[in-house]
Amino acid sequence: MGALISMEMISVALRTLRHRKAAFAGAFVALFCAAALVCACGMLLDTGLRGSVAPERYAGAPVIVTGDQFVHQTVRKSEEKTKTKAKQLSEQAWVPASLADRLRRVPGVARVVTEVSFPAYVAGRRFQGHGWESAALTPYTLRTGRAPKAEGEVVVEAASGLSVGARVPVWTAAGSRTYQVTGVTAQDLPSQDTLFFATAEARRMAGRAGQVGAIGVFPGVDVSGVLKGALAYTGDERGAAEFLGAEKARVKLISLGGALGGTALLVAILVVVGTFALSIQQRQREIALLRAVAATPRQVRGMLGGEALLVGVVAGTLGSAAGVGLGFWLRSRFVALGAMPENLRLVVSPFPMLAALGAAVLAAWAAAHLSARRAVRIRPVEALGEAELPAARVPVGRLVAGLLCAAGGVVLTLVLSALTTEAASSPLTLLTALVWTVAVSLLGPVIARTATALLGVPLRAARTAGYLAGAGLRATSKRLASVVTPLSLMVAMTCTILFVQTTMGHAAQEQATAGTRAEHVLGPHVPSGTAAAVRGLPGVEAVTEVLRTSVRVGLDKYGAQAVTADGLGRTMDLDVVAGSLDRLDDGSVAVSRTAAERLGVSAGAKLRLTLGDGTPAELRVVAIYSRGLGFGDLTLSHTLVAGHVDDPLGTVLVAAPSVTRADLERAAPGVGVLDRAQAVEAGAANAEVNYVAMGLIIAFTAIAVVNTIAMSTSSRSRELALLRLVGTTRRQVLRMLSLETLVAVGIAVALGTGIALVTLAAFSTGMTGSVVPHIPPLTYLAVIAAAAALALLATALPARLVLSRRPVELIGARD
């Protein structure tokens, strides 16, 4: 790149930029936004790779020992080489309480403190319950009162607003009970609410006989020699042991930052190439004159490269600085949505900024180089002729590239239709839509010429504005193509991002609606004794307790539900296609049809899996069912799973057609009671995190649309002035431009919708088994209306600005 751009050419580029500010404003905006996006995504990725969480509850213990939170698998790559991979568990892994005794015998260890943790609910608000023995891990001290000693006593944090003597109703997996406050701590933890119970009471409520969640070791000595199946953490590593969600968030940030950053970069390159192509197209006369006065192709290429370099450096520098602010905004949204813990610090380093700057400069230079290839290669006489009358023929290389991209789109579409996991299909979905959009971009002049030939007849039949619009579109199909590309990209990406979520959500909701037979659902956190109380009500036919978790088969993660089998057929219909759920017990599992195909199992087969807390299990497959999207890929026994999840308080399905909601509310005071429709709606997946992340791509394409159309309209000042001089009124000119824009919108909507439909149909086929995606009509119309409104606004504003000047001034103006 440096060999092509001499200092002389950079000097020429500086003078050119000074006199053609408007022409380069569009390229600057596109590169600025691209750099900001890449920098923000880079910060998310960097945080996922290097972010850390400072300990809170474990801040006072030099060493924390917990269970291994990962499931491991050794993969043999060759005869001599093996590789061990690890994936995080979904629940906390506990360790034997006897490990504390072994740690006490380690030389140098002065004190060992054990801890049990369990969820405790007070008026619907979740607290983390512990035994008072673990207060030393922080350390907590008492501001008033005393430590809990008996079963009915509790210590609360200062922020609770409670005082000694207050009575607090608490729900746990062991049941509900009212506790008396005996003490208030002097400390509060910023990101968690805590209750302390008597040590024996806490262990009873945790329900993990002979196990503890963590062990603190004082002072910080090496204890690795006595650890089997457990890990020791020191320093900031203690934060990872304390906040299990932080590690999950880091993994999510790596995948999200990588996917979003890669998509942003591809979209940016497509947008920037289109912007530079339009800019160079507007300067064909200038480039032709330079060639005519003996400027060599190398010199012209160097001038254009110098301009691109300067614009890229300035836009990339400012954009990467803005990207830091965008990264903090994204983090705040993810924290608010619960996808990222508050205390996972955002990593701020120069690497994302440098990467964004490099990406902007490289994209600018490559875009200028690609866009100027024909302009600097053809002979000066041909260049002058094309400046006055653009060539009708599309270069053969562009046609071949467009057809190759279309072929790539076909291949990606076929691959996408065969993928059955969301983790694999989601990145490929956006890539498929992008490849199809690139194909449309490359074949744009051909598509535009064909479309204008078809639409020209009704336009010419219209009045003056329609006749002028038809003639203008016919003469400048290349300019129309440059406007259609970002518009079709916006429609395609917006529809794909929005309707991937609606397709999955609708399929899951349909299955949940069809499969839920219970008239009432209690939840979301129901104490264990409530189900037994409801079973005793007159008119109750069946009660099913349900827990949600995830398990791993090998390293692959599967969503699972755990249910009580008694009366299951009356409350839930999984649409069993093989085997029977009547035989579901602690040694068996039912598997969805999609998961069974992926795992290669059938009814009667054995399935080895790892429960949420790392406990291995070998279960017999007793049934295959079709409603995996609505109820989870695996269905297990409630008694098998309840002892291996962090929160064993789940929902309760009640089949009782003659029992009213009021009857259930009296039998289960304080527990929410929903009917079937409300329960299905409440259980719908929340896609807000994906909308926030991918919404940036949509916003970027919207800016590109406004940018490109505004550039295209502003460059036509001489044309519009001539129309005014020959008698066309200002209103007729504006109507002509609006008609041209509406034609571009119509073509773009057709192309973008086609791209989205092909992509969504492939996604839906793989994920839901149906070729028809779910597209809410009002949402789709809103997307089209937004695209049309943006396009008309981007046309009207610069056009009114141009027409506000006298025609003679416009004809004499250089830019």
Structure confidence by residue, pLDDT tens digits, 630-674: 899 999 999 999 989 999 988 999 999 988 888 888 888 878 888
Residue 533 scores a pLDDT above 50 = yes
The answer on pLDDT for 212 being more than 90 is: yes
Which pLDDT score, from 0 to 100, does residue 487 have? 86
Residue 306 CA to residue 298 CA, distance in Å, equals: 12
Which two tokens mark 765?
Answer: 């086929």
In this structure, are residues 718 and 811 in contact, taking their beta carbons and an 8 Å threshold?
yes
Q: Residue 221: pLDDT above 70?
A: yes
pLDDT tens digits for range 573-593: 999 999 999 889 999 999 999
Residue 224's pLDDT is: 86
Sort strands 175-185 and 142-145 into parallel, antiparallel or unpaired. Answer: antiparallel
The pLDDT tens digits for 595-609 are 999 999 999 999 999
Q: Enter the tokens of residue 806.
A: 């006298």
More confident residue, 170 or 448: 170
Q: Which domain holds residue 137?
A: 63-234
Specify the DSSP class assigned to residue 642: G
What is the pLDDT, as a whole number, of residue 469? 55
Per-residue exposure over 223-240, b if at least 16 CB sit within 10 Å of its own CB, e if not: beebeeebbbbeeebbbb
Residue 744 falls within a domain, yes or no? yes
Q: Read off the pLDDT of each residue in 800-808 and give the average, rounded to a whole number.
A: 71
- Residue 86 is classified by DSSP as E
pLDDT at 320: 92
| pLDDT tens-digit readout, 79-107 | 677 788 888 899 999 999 999 999 999 99
- Report for 212-221, 222-231, 365-374: range of highest mean pLDDT: 212-221
809 — pLDDT class (breaks 50, 70, 90): low
183 and 316 housed in the same domain: no
Alpha-carbon 130 to chain mean position: 35
- Its sign, for the CA torsion 381, 386, 392, 397, is positive
Of 636, 670, 704, which residue sits at a domain end? 670
Kindly tell me if the per-residue pLDDT of 813 is higher than 60: no
Specify whether 13 is located in the same domain as 26.
Answer: yes
- The tokens for 234 are 């020191």
Query: How high is the pLDDT of residue 1?
Result: 46
- C-beta of residue 109 within 8 angstroms of C-beta of residue 221: yes
Question: Does the residue 675 lie in any domain?
Answer: no
Both 502 and 552 in one domain: the answer is no
Tens digit of each residue's pLDDT (9 = 90 or more) over 359-397: 888 888 877 777 666 666 656 655 555 555 455 566 777
- What is the longest distance spanned by two Cα atoms in the chain? 101
Question: Is residue 520 included in any domain, yes or no?
Answer: no
pLDDT in tens, 14-54: 556 555 555 567 778 878 888 898 899 889 888 888 888 88
Q: Own/partner pairs for 20-24, CB < 8 Å, 24+ apart?
A: 20/283, 20/815, 21/815, 22/711, 22/714, 22/815, 23/279, 23/282, 23/283, 23/711, 23/715, 23/815, 24/279, 24/307, 24/311
Q: Which one-letter DSSP state was computed for residue 644? A: G
101 and 4 together in one domain: no
Per-residue pLDDT, 653: 92
Q: In the listed set 670, 703, 736, which residue is the last one of a domain according to the structure?
A: 670
Q: Is 317 found in the same domain as 281?
A: yes
Summarised one tens digit per residue, pLDDT across range 684-710 is 666 677 777 778 778 888 887 787 777
Does any domain span residue 285?
A: yes
Is residue 40 located within the same domain as residue 143? no
Q: Could you give phi then psi for residue 474, rounded to 5 degrees? A: -65, -35
Residue where a domain stops, chosen among 174, 202, 234 = 234
Q: pLDDT tens across 397-438, in order?
A: 778 888 999 999 999 999 999 888 877 788 888 889 989 988
Question: Is the pLDDT at 5 greater than 60, yes or no?
Answer: no
Same domain? For 213 and 287 the reply is no
The confidence score (pLDDT) of residue 378 equals 58
Show Cβ contacts of residue 429 under 8 Å, excluding neighbours closer than 6 positions: 416, 496, 500, 759, 763
**Before 616, cis peptide (omega within 30)?**
no
Half-sphere exposure of 511 (CA within 13 A, CB side): 22
Is 75 within the bounds of a domain?
Answer: yes
Tokens encoding 97: 């309480």
Give the mean pLDDT of 777-804.
86
Within this chain, do residues 482 and 542 fall inside the same structural domain, yes or no?
no
Q: Is the dihedral of CA 239, 235, 89, 416 positive or negative?
A: positive
Same domain, 533 and 641: yes
Number of domains in the chain: 4
Whether the bond into 807 is cis, omega within 30 of 0: no
Residue 678 lies in a domain: no
Q: By C-alpha distance, which of 651, 639, 642 is closest to 91? A: 642
What average pLDDT does the chain have?
A: 83
**Would you say 520 and 661 are in contact if contact means Cβ atoms under 8 Å apart?**
yes
pLDDT at 608: 95
Angle between helices 297-336 and 284-292 (to 10 degrees): 150
CA distances from 421 to 105, 431, 602, 704 (A): 48, 16, 19, 32
Tell me, yes or no, whether 119 and 188 share the same domain. Answer: yes
User: What average pLDDT score do residues 774-778 get?
Assistant: 92
For 674, list phi and psi in degrees, rounded to 5.
-120, 150
Q: Are residues 366 and 397 in the same domain?
A: no
Ranges of beta strands (E only) in 428-570 are: 520-523, 542-553, 556-563
Q: What pLDDT score was predicted for residue 415? A: 93
Name the more confident of 65 and 73: 65
Confidence of residue 746 (pLDDT cuts 50, 70, 90): confident
**Percent of the chain beyond pLDDT 90?**
35
pLDDT exceeds cutoff 60 at 778: yes
Phi, psi of 443 (to 5 degrees): -90, 10
Element (H, E) at 502: helix 477-515
Residue 2's pLDDT band (cuts 50, 70, 90): very low
Looking at the structure, tell me whether residues 304 and 345 fall in a common domain.
yes
- Is the residue at 521 inside a domain? no
